[in-house]
């Protein structure tokens, strides 16, 4: 087991850097890494993917908090918008985490990869059509229900695939006219609330898996391996984000989604 856990150190470092750089919780790296460690121990894929998602969400709570605090100090978090989006985000997180806690399917790994690809395409389209933001940060030229529905979906899908929501909230915020740095900081703050709600809800609603070393659906050996690395490297990722231009950061964000998505689809099919 210790050899397998040692293989989580590099993904954990990457997850911390990603959290700071892109406002993500690092789930795009953590989920496939934990999934691999579990399946190498002969745990069924349909069980391993649920545990990997739950473990990823649990790590995002502290990792995201570290990233959000660093962005807050730089003035990149719109707390007014966070408060207005929070009810819809949490409702979505409860739905997604309920599905993870109650249902088991190996198709989730492929869904995660396809999800990242879709977000990459959407982010390309959105960044080409940035409109003028309103003062409250919530208005598009669209029906009043549009933003709440989008935020609810961000919460539901993010909890379902074990990410902090940045894969959707960052391009959503940039489409609303926010700078990439402010979108990343605000997304990091929302990801903390999303991950915390989803993790706590799964602890209350999960079905036992019979897998050793788990608390609820959280695989604690992986959690304890990942957390120190992500907490150290998330603030470094924030500092790096300040030295990279907005266009470059946008391109890197899209490439990240495409590469990780391809990897997840390949693992799911294999």
Higher pLDDT, 77 or 66: 77
Whole-number Å distance between alpha carbons of 235 and 207 = 36
The SS3 assignment for 138 reads coil
Distance of CA 179 to the CA centre of its chain: 20
As given in the structure block, the two tokens for residue 226 are 């990942």
Q: What is the pLDDT of residue 138?
A: 46
Tell me the per-residue pLDDT of 173-182, one tens digit each, with 9 for 90 and over. Answer: 887 888 888 8
Contact at 8 Å (CB) between 55 and 222? yes
CA 76 to CA 22: how far, in whole Å? Answer: 12
Cα diameter, the chain: 54
Average pLDDT over residues 97-111: 80
Q: Report which of 102, 54, 90 is spatially closest to residue 197, judged by C-alpha positions.
A: 90
Candidates 213, 230, 224; CA nearest to 25 is 230
Task: Report pLDDT for 199.
Answer: 92
Helix (DSSP H) and strand (DSSP E) numbers for the chain = 11, 2
Confidence grade of residue 136 (pLDDT, cut at 50, 70, 90): very low
């Amino acid at each position: 087991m210790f050899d397998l856990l040692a293989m989580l150190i590099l993904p954990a470092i990457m997850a911390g850097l990603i959290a700071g750089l892109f406002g993500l919780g690092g789930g795009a790296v953590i989920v496939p890494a934990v999934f691999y460690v579990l399946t190498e121990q002969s745990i069924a894929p349909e069980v391993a993917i649920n545990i990997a998602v739950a473990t990823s969400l649990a790590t995002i709570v502290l990792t995201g908090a570290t990233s959000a605090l660093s962005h807050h100090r730089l003035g990149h978090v719109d707390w007014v918008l966070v408060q207005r989006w929070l009810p819809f985000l949490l409702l979505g997180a409860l739905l997604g985490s309920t599905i993870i806690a109650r249902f088991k399917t190996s198709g989730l790994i492929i869904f995660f990869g396809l999800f990242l690809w879709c977000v990459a395409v959407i982010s390309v389209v959105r960044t080409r059509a940035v409109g003028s933001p309103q003062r409250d940060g919530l208005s598009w030229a669209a029906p009043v229900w549009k933003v709440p529905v989008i935020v609810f979906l961000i919460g539901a899908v993010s909890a379902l695939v074990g990410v902090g929501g940045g894969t959707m909230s960052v391009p959503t915020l940039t489409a609303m006219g926010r700078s990439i740095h402010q979108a990343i900081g605000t997304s990091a703050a929302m990801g903390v609330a999303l991950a915390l709600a989803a993790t706590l809800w799964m602890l209350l609603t999960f079905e036992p898996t019979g897998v050793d070393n788990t608390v609820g659906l959280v695989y604690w050996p992986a959690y304890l391996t990942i957390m120190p690395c992500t907490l150290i490297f998330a603030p470094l990722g924030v500092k790096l984000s300040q030295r990279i231009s907005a266009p470059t950061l946008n391109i890197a964000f899209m490439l990240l989604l495409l590469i990780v998505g391809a990897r997840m689809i390949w693992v799911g099919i294999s």
